[in-house]
Structure 1
Amino acid sequence: MNHFFMNAPKWRTGAGVLTLLAWLTSCGPNNKAVEYPLIETANTNALDIAKVELTDSATILHTDAYYRPHNWIRISSESYLQAGGKRYMLTGAEGITPDSLFWMPESGEASFTLCFEPLPSGTTSFDFIESDCEDCFKLFGIDLTGKKTFDIPDNVPESLRLVDWDAEVPEPIFKTGTTTVNVHFLHYRPELGKEANLYVNTLFGTQQPYTATVDPETGKASFSFLQCGTVQAAVVLNNSMAGSAWLAPGETTELYVDMHSIGYYLSLRREEKKKITYPAPFQRLYSSGTYANLNNVGNQLDNSPYYSMNSLTGEFADYHMTSTEYAAHVVDTYKALADSIARSNFSLLKKEMKLLALRQDAFSAMAQGDYLREHNYRHINRQWDYNFKVEGIAPLKPADAKAICQLFDINDTKLLMGENVSDYVRAACSSSFDWPQLADIQKGLVKDLRQIAGYPAKAENVALTDADFAQMKAMDNPFYLEAFTLMQKKAKEELAAVEAKSRVETTPDVPKERLFDALIAPYKGKVVIVDFWNTWCGPCRAAIQANEPLKSSNLKSDNLVWVYIANETSPIVKYKTMIPDIQGLHYRLNQEQWNYLCDKFKIDGIPSYVLVDKSGAYKLRNDFRDHSLMIKTLIEELEK
């Protein structure tokens, strides 16, 4: 289960809630108004400035907020504007109460007004700083001159600016090597994030995360890792996508990331919502290396159509469709989108890129025919209890699914070069259909991917056997044997380095029906918080990180026990590297045990929490995804 949940960050609370000043007195008649000012960059896309009013007595920000429905944001009473090295403090607000929780409506959009001390006459730009806490909202370079486009950065090497729009998408490289990626964040500010992440999507359909510190002076972060085959990597700063790049194994690649991209995304949202036009395309990343041209084209942002099947919306398929009807629907949708790409004004390279992504999307949609029709039923009927079995959907027949193989070559290695590479690999490895038989494939990519399915997880857990290696040795492409040999060797070395530092509790040897009671039995009379998590779950990690300091402060108590339950999808090396920094008892369950507990508590995703009170009674408490509620409840339970 991989549904992620998170609430809005908890902003620092000021000394008290400000009383709203008399509005007409504090915010006098307008001297100047700037609508939808260009914002250079930000640490969030949850806030936007619709209008700035400048008067002799105040600066007024008409603010739009975008966030998940029924989740909250908060604006600190210590918010200020910054210009010319000076601060101009918040004096009042309308539509929101500073320091209080503001719950987002069903639409996920809201508006309010913030009033500040007046900016000096002649100010050309300013920053909005929602107090000095690290996670508070910060918008930089709010322009007051009427500027509408971003300047091209002048510190990108000229050789990295070259683009051949009519080139072909290059082939993937089946080799291994140590790759170095140097990311240069242009227009960097430490408030945008002190650590950068590189999420590497491999040609095996897996993802490897890496973290590096950003040098506050140069804005540079460097990554080095074992790479097996061509990969696509996402550059992320402060949970915001900063760019993506294809990487060749064994190369040193320089990536220059323009952090004005966050401001550009705000502009695109304005264009869509408010019909404000920002016509100039924006390049968020410049690249060196084998895939430089592909990266430079792929990171040209504009408001052009995506040409997606949109298969996961719940509305793509109709659950009433027969097998034949569903297959025809996938084919017809693909043909219509492919024809639109062919008739577009895109360059040859961009057309090929979009077509590869569409083919991956269509192949995935066909492989998931049964799931997507069931998903439509659940979407229409709001039936998300997966213990409820949807009946009456005829399974997609191989003879119908075969139609996708007649549209394009599913064995084409370039299908590893589309942006939906993980979807393609999962579809190729699907157990629902024997794709080699349906497509009459004797050898090549699809057969190889199906043969090594499961090997990435086994390598990460140092579990590949001699029989596995013998099977890889017999494969036509020697790359797989080389890759998995190196992957398991690396995992084994890393495991040896962390083995002595981590402790995993022995899972009680009892039937699964008695497992949970056996886990908590030793702690009757204490409060127990059981956290279901996995290493690959970002919100799980964020929640754990937020809790750690509390264990030595607000929630420090011998009567509070923290129990962490993960399963074998957490790679053993990553798991044992992480848990020494997480105070508590750690259990790593097998899939049968995990599935039973998830069914027992009706767990709908992770993180999930079970609270055990002092009497030993327990209950699922997924409202604890609201971190402040978790803290409040645990303190109350300890006081009983």
Structure 2
Amino acid sequence: MKTLVIKQTLLTCLLFLSCTGLQAQERIVEQPAFDAWSSTTLEIDKIALSDTATVFYIDAYFRPKYWIQVVKETTLRADGKTYPIKAGDGITLSEKFWMPESGEASFRLIFPPLPKGTKTVDFIEGDEEGAFKIWNIHLDGSPANSSLAGKKNPAETPVLEKPEFKNGTAVLKGHIADYKPEMNLKGRAWNFNLLNGSTEEYNITVQPDGNFTLEVPLYYPTGLNIVSNFMNGLIYLKPGETTSVEINMPEICRSQSKKQKDKPSLGEKYYFTGALAALNNECSNSSLRFVSVSPKSQEDYMQMFSDISTMNADQFKAYWMDRYQKEKAVLDSHTELSDAYRTLLHNSLKKDLAEQLLGISGMTEYAYRTVNQIPRDSVIPKDKKVIPTIEYYDFIPELVSNDPYLLYDGSFTYLISYLQYTNFTGEDRAAGEKAPDNTADLIKVMGTDNGILFDLLAAQRLSKPIKEFRPLSDEELAQAGKISPVIQEALTLMNNKVKQTIEENKKKSGYTVNRVNIADIPAEELFNAITTPYRGKVVFVDFWATWCGPCKAAMRASEPVKKDFVGKDIVFLYLAGENSPKGTWEQMIPDIKGEHYRMTDAQWTYICNKFGVQGVPSYMIISKDGTPTHFQVGFMGPDKMKEMLMKELDK
């Protein structure tokens, strides 16, 4: 109690000194401009500068009922010197700050006084990845700096080139203007491979001079998805050609900021040259980047579930068609768009609608369960299931056409997957029954068996063994040649890569498969049988799947944590089910150090229901005596993971 009183007294004195100092010689910088930031969560409303303190008035914007944190290691950096934070007012440093229902909050951060004449300062919440950072905050009232200020892209109307299959490496070269090495920016990129239905991921590392280069094997012109501080969205690339982009980071950050967005523009955000430059310049700088019939918020999703939970097939189709027409009206209202870009957005909207309509059975059942709070392991009445007949699917020829321009939208691969497993006839299937070949039904719906859609369906069927790390035979590769020589060449390259990976994996170690034979163990006894050998050690359990992108991303993020615990009494246990193909699982786990088990569907279902695994990735921590002490869906982050394991290890 005495320590608490002393701390409160010190904080009160500190705030008093800062306030009295401000009254005497304060200088207020209202909504100061800045050149770049790492996150849109913290906005500076004003900065009070005095001889006794520098006070940042912060407005925070984040998801309601989620927490943020400002650590006690936070500093200001100016002219080569560092000024450590002294206190927080309205927020406790290094503790979770829970956002209110509004998703908005305000607090103050108090730092030592800065030297008079300081023109810019950096706000650095920490040097680790994910920390809040705001660079070049202007204390003299001047606007943000951009070496690209006022620059304009050429007034060139994009032309949508007809895509053709071609094997080659697309190169993306980028430069972030006004980059500072301490920004240490990184990004992720991925594209959908329509020939095998997979997602191929890439890392983007920005060099100290602000440059980055990415090489992507492609088989047709398509969009590369990028998520980073400096770019979000699609960039269109062509196989065998180079696309270059100059990135106006200060303008990107200004336009993101609630307090800076109404200030004068610093130029356009992106300047493309090279392959598909005009198209990229328009779509990357457009005010309309995305169209979708899907709900826009959690509240909208819950209302959607309520709406469709009692619908029949015709009502369901009418509901989504109505949403489509409303979104199309919004798209049509943007008369400034070129025909090329409008075509891509409209195709994306049609694809989105088709996904909703094809998902009718699963979506209506999920909505019925959600609204009526029925667990997924409970059977729902048969008359509550919506299984349409073949007449329902008359929308497919229009929405999922044989249009080659759909290649530009790589996520078209989801539609191909939907089509392969669609129950066109509405016939009953037993639980777990393998879906029969529905090609004849699809041909009946489409009215043809020719075109790019059928080429891609055939390619994905041929490539399925490759995805499961079962190399194709020469005879199977010859079948690909009947579709297209380019597709045959592409599948041959994929096939050779899989063979090489299999050989390399034979040399790897550090992972163990099935320490106990689980095949004959009853589901209710399995988890105990798996974990009993690890008594006396802390067990970190990862429920995952080979096809789960977030699972793989979390594994990459957790690697440094696992290395910190090498040689200590901690076991990393990875559990997957039969929905992870055996060949794929076997070839992925050599790169995932730990203990691995692949369970039957019955075993997986039992364990998921027992522990409340509603999705992957999910995680559990088991104490040394075998007691589960923590469970959560979704990765907790590497820092929290390390903290929780250290706490359990020290018990």
Q: Shorter chain as normaliser: what TM range?
A: 0.7 to 0.9
2:164–2:221 contact (8 Å) kept in structure 1: yes
1:54–1:119 contact (8 Å) kept in structure 2: yes
The change in CA–CA distance for 1:202 and 1:38 in structure 2 (over 3 A counts) is farther
Q: Alpha carbon RMSD of aligned pairs, Å?
A: 3.8
From 499, 502, 515, the counterpart of 1:492: 499
Counting aligned pairs with the same residue, the percent is: 28
**Structure 2 partner of 1:608:** 618
Question: CA separation in 2, counterparts of 1:34 and 1:70?
Answer: 31
1:416-467 Cα offsets, whole Å, 9 max, x none, are 2247545444444452445442232321122233333355553244324446
Aligned-partner SS, 1:437: helix
Question: CA separation in 2, counterparts of 1:155 and 1:128?
Answer: 27
**Structure 1 partner of 2:122:** 127
The change in CA–CA distance for 1:338 and 1:608 in structure 2 (over 3 A counts) is closer
1:580-637 Cα offsets, whole Å, 9 max, x none, are 5x54323455767645543443312233223444444557622895466655664565
Tell me the TM-score normalized by structure 1: 0.82
User: Displacement, 1:42?
Assistant: 1.6
Question: CA separation in 2, counterparts of 1:419 and 1:147?
Answer: 43
**Structure 1 partner of 2:239:** 249
User: Displacement, 1:359?
Assistant: 1.4
2:542–2:618 contact (8 Å) kept in structure 1: yes
**Structure 2 partner of 1:310:** 294
User: Displacement, 1:26?
Assistant: 0.9
Question: CA separation in 2, counterparts of 1:131 and 1:461?
Answer: 42
Pairing 1:151-230 to 2, within 5 Å after superposition: 151=146, 153=148, 161-165=153-157, 167-193=158-184, 195-204=186-195, 205-216=197-208, 218-230=209-221
Residues 1:339 and 2:346 aligned together: no
Tell me the TM-score normalized by structure 2: 0.80
**Structure 2 partner of 1:442:** 449
1:192–1:237 contact (8 Å) kept in structure 2: no
Question: CA separation in 2, counterparts of 1:630 and 1:287?
Answer: 41
Residues 1:321 and 2:311 aligned together: yes
- Kindly tell me the number of residue pairs found equivalent between the two proteins: 605
From 253, 272, 282, the counterpart of 1:287: 272
Match for 2:498: what amino acid? A
2:78–2:121 contact (8 Å) kept in structure 1: yes
Question: CA separation in 2, counterparts of 1:258 and 1:389?
Answer: 55
**Structure 2 partner of 1:8:** none
The change in CA–CA distance for 1:453 and 1:583 in structure 2 (over 3 A counts) is closer
Match for 1:94: what amino acid? D
**Structure 1 partner of 2:608:** 598
Question: CA separation in 2, counterparts of 1:384 and 1:53?
Answer: 55
**Structure 2 partner of 1:547:** 561
From 79, 83, 92, the counterpart of 2:74: 79
Question: CA separation in 1, counterparts of 2:216 and 2:292?
Answer: 32
Question: CA separation in 2, counterparts of 1:202 and 1:485?
Answer: 15
Question: CA separation in 2, counterparts of 1:575 and 1:37?
Answer: 54
Aligned-partner SS, 2:512: coil
Residues 1:473 and 2:481 aligned together: yes
Pairing 1:291-440 to 2, within 5 Å after superposition: 291-302=276-287, 304=288, 306-311=290-295, 313-316=301-304, 317-348=307-338, 349-377=340-368, 380=371, 383=373, 385-389=375-379, 391=381, 392-403=384-395, 405-406=397-398, 410-418=401-409, 421-433=412-424, 434-440=441-447
Match for 1:516: what amino acid? F
Match for 1:478: what amino acid? P
Pairing 1:255-270 to 2, within 5 Å after superposition: 255-260=245-250, 263-264=253-254, 266-267=256-257, 269=258
Aligned-partner SS, 1:416: helix
**Structure 2 partner of 1:4:** none
The change in CA–CA distance for 1:151 and 1:451 in structure 2 (over 3 A counts) is same
Aligned-partner SS, 1:288: strand
Question: CA separation in 1, counterparts of 2:251 and 2:326?
Answer: 31
1:525–1:615 contact (8 Å) kept in structure 2: yes
The change in CA–CA distance for 1:427 and 1:123 in structure 2 (over 3 A counts) is farther
Question: CA separation in 2, counterparts of 1:416 and 1:350?
Answer: 14
Aligned-partner SS, 1:363: helix
**Structure 2 partner of 1:511:** 520
Normalized per residue, the structure richer in helix is 2
Specify which structure has the bigger relative contact order, considering alpha-carbon pairs within 8 angstroms and separated by 6 or more residues.
Answer: 1
Match for 2:156: what amino acid? D
Question: CA separation in 1, counterparts of 2:95 and 2:274?
Answer: 49
**Structure 2 partner of 1:463:** 470
Residues 1:528 and 2:533 aligned together: no
1:441–1:447 contact (8 Å) kept in structure 2: no
Pairing 1:94-109 to 2, within 5 Å after superposition: 94-109=89-104
1:184-232 Cα offsets, whole Å, 9 max, x none, are 233333443364433223334432112254322x222333343232332
2:178–2:249 contact (8 Å) kept in structure 1: yes
Q: Structure 1 unaligned runs (5+)?
A: 1-15
Question: CA separation in 1, counterparts of 2:364 and 2:145?
Answer: 44
User: Displacement, 1:140?
Assistant: 0.9
**Structure 1 partner of 2:574:** 564
The change in CA–CA distance for 1:603 and 1:39 in structure 2 (over 3 A counts) is same
The change in CA–CA distance for 1:134 and 1:340 in structure 2 (over 3 A counts) is closer
From 25, 46, 51, the counterpart of 2:17: 25
1:542-583 Cα offsets, whole Å, 9 max, x none, are 55235224304xxx53x4322223467489789857755x54
Match for 1:298: what amino acid? C
